[in-house]
């Protein structure tokens, strides 16, 4: 028998049928209790592990935060906010997100996601978290263990540029 842990939070957004600036998205932001595949920006070359306690403790800080992207899809661009996070769930070892992209304001990101989803169903785009106030168990460790964080947003980027290559994003 497999046990699934679930921790969830959401902002209730009123439904507005056919709203031109709300394109739903969902995806996996990061993995929990798993070392990153690559060192994220700001980690001084260290791979990281986001603990379950840190993720669950910071879940509320994700709600209402922006999701951003750089046109090259190879980095974060916190000045190019293209959507809002309205749901965050810890499901097993995944931190899953949902929300809305500003489809009318940023049609290019919706087009990129649509094209990638229809091109053989591949998920070559992923996500990466943005944090502040991180506490690290041992700064001398080869892999940093994040024991406390505050999420400040997320970014859409190519999976090969994300710290965790098992992240993904798709339109709803």
Kindly give the confidence (pLDDT) of every residue in the chain, 172 residues in length, as a single tens digit, with 9 standing for 90 and above: 666 665 667 777 888 899 999 999 999 999 999 999 999 988 999 999 999 999 999 999 999 999 999 999 999 999 999 999 999 999 999 999 999 999 999 999 999 888 876 655 567 899 999 999 999 999 999 999 999 999 999 999 999 999 999 999 999 9
Taking the domains of the chain in order of start, what are their residue ranges?
22-171
Tokens of 149: 């964080």
Is 22-171 CATH 3.30.70? no
* pTM score: 0.90
């Amino acid at each position: 028998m497999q046990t699934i842990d679930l921790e969830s939070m959401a902002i209730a957004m009123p439904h507005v049928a056919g709203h031109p600036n709300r394109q739903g998205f969902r995806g996996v932001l990061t993995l929990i209790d798993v070392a990153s595949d690559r060192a994220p920006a700001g980690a001084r070359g260290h791979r990281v592990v986001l603990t379950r306690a840190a993720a669950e403790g910071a879940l509320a800080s994700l709600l209402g935060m922006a999701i951003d992207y750089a046109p090259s899809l190879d980095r974060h661009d916190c000045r190019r906010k293209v959507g809002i996070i309205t749901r965050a769930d810890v499901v097993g070892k995944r931190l899953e997100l949902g929300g809305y992209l500003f489809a009318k304001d940023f049609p290019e990101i919706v087009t990129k996601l649509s094209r990638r989803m229809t091109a053989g169903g591949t998920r070559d785009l992923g996500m990466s978290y943005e944090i502040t106030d991180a506490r690290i168990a041992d700064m001398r460790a080869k892999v940093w263990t994040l024991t406390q964080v505050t999420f400040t947003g997320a970014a859409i980027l190519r999976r090969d540029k994300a710290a965790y290559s098992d992240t993904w994003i798709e339109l709803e």
